[in-house]
Structure 1
Amino acid sequence: MDPGTNVLDLSQLRRSCSSCALSELCLPAGIGNDDLERLDTAVRDKRTLDRGGMLYRDGDPFEALYVVRSGSLKTFVLDDSGDVQILGFHLPGEIIGFDALASNQHVSQAEALERSSICELPYARLQQVTSEVPALHRQLMRVISREVIEEHRHLVMMGRQQAQEQLAIFLKSLADRYQRLQRDSTALTLSMSRYDIANYLGLVVETVSRLFSRLEEMGVLEVNRKSVRICRPDLLAELCRSSGVPASKRRDAG
C-alpha cells in the first residue's frame, strides 16, 4: 500500500460536511460517506465576514448559495430613495441566496450582523451533486420550502394590528430556531439592533423599546442590552395568539 494513501488532509477535514456541527441541519438523515465526499467537493472553503461585511449585494451575479456556519446575517433591500427594508435574519444552519434563482442575479443584500463564518456552495457544482444524490435534492427543496414559509410568517406578522403581538411572534420564532440549533431557547442573544427589529416588524424603534420594557414588567422577559431571557415561555406563546393581555391576566382582572 502506498503510505501516502492514509495521509489525513487536515484542511479538507476542517471544511468537511461530515465533521461540521451543523450537518444534521443541512444534510438529509442517513446520507452515506460516498455522498458526503461528493458534497465536500462542492463546498468551497469557509468565508469569514466581520460585522458589517457584505456577502452579496443587489445586482451581483448568482454564483452560489451560502450556509451560515456561525454568527448571523440580515438580508434587506433598498428602495429608490435608499431606505432599507429588512427581509430576514439568518442563523447557523440556514441557507441564503435563493433570491437570485429566478433572474441569475441577487435582488437583495446580505450583511453580517456579527463576525460570521459562511460555507459557499457554487450553484453549478451543487446542481451536479444533487442530481447524483436524490436525498440531498429533496433536502434542498425542504430548505427552500422553509424559506417560503418564513416569508409568509413575516407577511402575516407585518399584518398584525397589535405591535405587542408582532414582537411576541418574532421572539417566539427566534426561540424556536434556537431550539432547532439545540441551544437554550430561553436565552436569546439579539445580534440585530433594536432599529433592525423595528424595521423588520414595520414599527418605530421607540415602540419596540417600549414593548421590551412592557414585557419585562409583565414578567415575560428579562432584558440586558442584547441578551434576552424568556422567563415565561407560556405567556410569550399566549401573546402570540392574542392581540391583548394574556388570558391569565384577563381572568385575574375579571
Structure 2
Amino acid sequence: MPSVTLIAPTALPQDMFKVACSTCALRPVCLPTGLPAADVEQVERMVSERRLVARGTTLFKARDPFEALYVVRTGFFKTSVSAEDGRDQVTGFHMAGEMLGMDGIFDGAHPSQAVALEDSQVCVIPYGRLEDITRDAERLRRQFHRLMSREIVRDQGVMMLLGATRAEQRVAAFLINLMRRLRARGFSSSSVVLRMTRDEIGSFLGLTLETVSRTFSRMQDDGLLAVRAREIRVLKPKQLLQLVRRAAP
C-alpha cells in the first residue's frame, strides 16, 4: 500500500502557491464561463491553501471526515472504493480543473479515497468557508452549484455508456472521453500518455487486466490505435467514435 502521508505545504517551494484564480491558466475549465471579476475574487477567498500531493499518496481516505472540496490544479488522481471482497474498485480519474470530494457532502464523511497518480497540486476549498461566502451571494452560489453539477453529469454520462457496451466499446468510450477532457485543457486530441495502469483502467471499466490489454492489441491490429507502453495515439478517430456510437441506445 502507498503511504498516505501528505507532504506539508511548508516543505514546498513557495512560488508554487502564488497563482491566483484570476490569472490561472485553468480558469476557463475550472470556473464557469463569464464569471465576473468580483466573483472570481470571492472564489480566491475560499481557497485556504494550494497543496502538493506526491505521486502515490492519498488526498483523502474512505471514512475521513468531510471538510473541504478539492480542485485539481496540476496532475492526475484516481478515486476508488473498497468492495466487499476487499478489492479496490476504481470509480473515476480526475485531471486539472476537475473537482474532488463531493461524495462527502451527503453524510459528512468520504465513502471513497483519492490517490495521486503523479505529482499533483490541488486548491483546497473548506466547505464551511464556501457556505459562509456564498450564503449572501446568490449568483456565486448558483455558479458553484453549476460547477458541481457539471462533475455529476460528466460522471453519469460515462457510466451510462459503459454499462451497456462490449469491452472494445468500453475502452473506446474511455479513450474518447479522456482525450476530449484533455483537449479542453489545451493538450493533443489524438495522443495521450496514460497516467493510470491497464489494471486501473480495467477496474474502472469493469474489465480484467487481460481483457484491457487484448483490446488495446486488437485495436492496434485493426489500425485504430498505435500503442507503445502507456502512450496511445488515435490513428482513426472517426472509426473509434463510430465504434462507440454503435453501442449507444
Q: TM-score, normalised by structure 2?
A: 0.87
**CA, structure 1 residues 27+135, in 2 after alignment: closer, same or farther (shift >3 Å)?**
farther
1:202 paired with 2:206, answer yes
Matches within 5 A, 1:6-155: 14-155=18-159
1:165 paired with 2:169, answer yes
**AA matched with 1:142:** R
Structure 2 contact 162–173 (Cα < 8 Å) conserved: no
SS in 1 for 2:22: helix
Structure 1 contact 53–112 (Cα < 8 Å) conserved: yes
What's the CA shift for 1:88? Answer: 0.3
**CA, structure 1 residues 222+136, in 2 after alignment: closer, same or farther (shift >3 Å)?**
farther
SS in 2 for 1:35: helix
What's the CA shift for 1:20? Answer: 0.9
User: Could you tell me which residue of structure 2 aligns to residue 218 of structure 1?
Assistant: 222
**CA, structure 1 residues 136+28, in 2 after alignment: closer, same or farther (shift >3 Å)?**
farther
Instruction: Render the CA deviation track for 1:79-111: whole Å, top value 9, x for unaligned.
Output: 233211110000100001010011011111000
User: Could you tell me which residue of structure 1 aligns to residue 237 of structure 2?
Assistant: 233
Structure 1 contact 13–19 (Cα < 8 Å) conserved: no
- Greater CA radius of gyration, 1 or 2? 1
What's the CA shift for 1:35? Answer: 2.5
**CA, structure 1 residues 31+221, in 2 after alignment: closer, same or farther (shift >3 Å)?**
same
Structure 1 contact 28–135 (Cα < 8 Å) conserved: no
Q: 1:182 aligns with which of 186, 190, 196?
A: 186
Instruction: Render the CA deviation track for 1:173-205: whole Å, top value 9, x for unaligned.
Output: 111111221211111121000000011111111
Structure 1 contact 157–201 (Cα < 8 Å) conserved: no
**AA matched with 2:231:** S
5+ long unaligned stretches in structure 2: 1-13
SS in 1 for 2:195: coil
What's the CA shift for 1:12? Answer: 10
**C-alpha distance in 1 between matches for 2:151 and 2:35:** 23
**CA, structure 1 residues 73+129, in 2 after alignment: closer, same or farther (shift >3 Å)?**
same
**C-alpha distance in 2 between matches for 1:197 and 1:155:** 13
| Comparing 163-172 and 31-40, the one that deviates more | 31-40
**C-alpha distance in 2 between matches for 1:48 and 1:13:** 9
User: Could you tell me which residue of structure 2 aligns to residue 191 of structure 1?
Assistant: 195
What's the CA shift for 1:211? Answer: 0.6
Measured on the aligned residues, the alpha-carbon RMSD in Å equals 1.9
What's the CA shift for 1:11? Answer: 6.4
SS in 1 for 2:152: helix
**C-alpha distance in 2 between matches for 1:239 and 1:213:** 16
Q: Percentage identity across aligned positions?
A: 39
**CA, structure 1 residues 133+23, in 2 after alignment: closer, same or farther (shift >3 Å)?**
farther
What's the CA shift for 1:23? Answer: 1.0
Query: Normalized per residue, which structure has more helix?
Result: 1
Query: How many positions carry a matched residue from both structures?
Result: 234
SS in 2 for 1:31: coil
**AA matched with 1:35:** D
5+ long unaligned stretches in structure 1: 1-9, 244-254
